[in-house]
Amino acid sequence: MNRALFLLSAALVLTSLGANAEARTLAQIKASGTLKIATEGAFPPFNYYEGKQLRGFEVDLGNAVAKSLNLKVEWTAQPFDGLLIGLNQNRYDVVLASHAITPERQKAVAFLNPHYCSAVNIVAKKGGPLTRTALAGKVVGTQIGTAQIPVLQAIPGIKSVRTYPNDQTILTALQAGRLDAWTSNGPVVAYMLKQTGLTGKIVIGEAISQERNAGAVAKGNTELRDALNGAIKKLQADGTYAKLSQKWFGQDIRCP
């Protein structure tokens, strides 16, 4: 490998590890007046597009958090599997995209306190596999980059775990019979089945994990993390969070 190429690849490795990233501090963000939040935009009703409009519970929550810190928001939407990498490249200040807090991810980013708790469920066509044991010999689809992948890989007997760019493409594959089952966060599946009129034809089964889902900032960005946690706590105390949660889910989904 020539020297230029070597330096380039070394720089890429460092960037993806966050080693040379200079995350914006709370003071710098306040001085700029704008908080940069990234999400996916394909995980309804948490973050999704309605036409050209980014919507959802996490979008409302992010906007409310910024407002309580007297900041405007600049939203970025991009594929899920690159979100934490982009965070460590300092392309935005915070990620709000339903990431489960996992020890693996904690090596790379600093999580906020969880803004909701939810199960990950097995989903199949009526008559299909709806329990862990029933997954033996089956082909299961899940989103690339998710915490579900290692959970599925630990279930004995699954024929294969296929990854897809987002949940919509998995639902399409499930309907077409290319997959026996799908796993995703329960509220997302329920919302998507209702939207597509598939409730009853496609059924939500057993949970394979319980998640604490949280936003993330760059490791070491402690003042920003504390300010965002403080804002979420305030919104949870003053009724704003409860109102948003009712609006999107008909119930309060905060962690117990």
Q: Which residues bind ligand ARG (CB under 6 A)?
A: 40, 43, 47, 80, 97-100, 143, 146-147, 185, 211, 213
Nearest to ligand ARG of 114, 128 (CB atom):
114
Helix (H/G/I), strand (E/B), else coil: 122: strand
Q: Which is nearer to ligand ARG, 26 or 48 (CB)?
A: 48
Extended beta strands in the chain, E state:
34-39, 42-43, 47-50, 53-55, 72-77, 94-100, 109-111, 116-125, 139-143, 160-164, 181-185, 202-218
Give min distance, CB of 29 to ligand ARG, in A. Answer: 23
Torsion of CA 201, 132, 46, 61, to 10 degrees: 140
Give the gyration radius of the chain's Cα atoms.
19
Q: Which C-beta is closer to ligand ARG: that of 26 or that of 93?
A: 93
Q: Quick one: 210 or 222, whose CB is closer to ligand ARG?
A: 210
Nearer to ligand ARG, 23 or 84 (CB): 84
Q: Which long-range contacts (CB under 8 A, 24 or more apart) does 171-175 make?
A: 171/196, 171/198, 171/202, 173/141, 174/123, 174/124, 174/125, 174/141, 174/202, 175/125, 175/202
| Minimal distance, residue 6 CB to ligand ARG, in Å | 34
Closest CA to 94 of 117, 107, 113: 113
Nearer to ligand ARG, 60 or 211 (CB): 211
Question: What's the min distance (Å) between Cβ of 192 and ligand ARG?
Answer: 12
Smallest gap, in angstroms, from Cβ of residue 249 to ligand ARG?
Answer: 15
Minimum CB distance to ligand ARG, residue 23 (Å): 21
Beta-strand relationship, 42-43 and 202-218: unpaired
SS3 state of residue 43:
strand
Alpha helices (H) along 96-185? 103-106, 148-153, 167-175
Min dist CB 135 to ligand ARG, Å, is 18
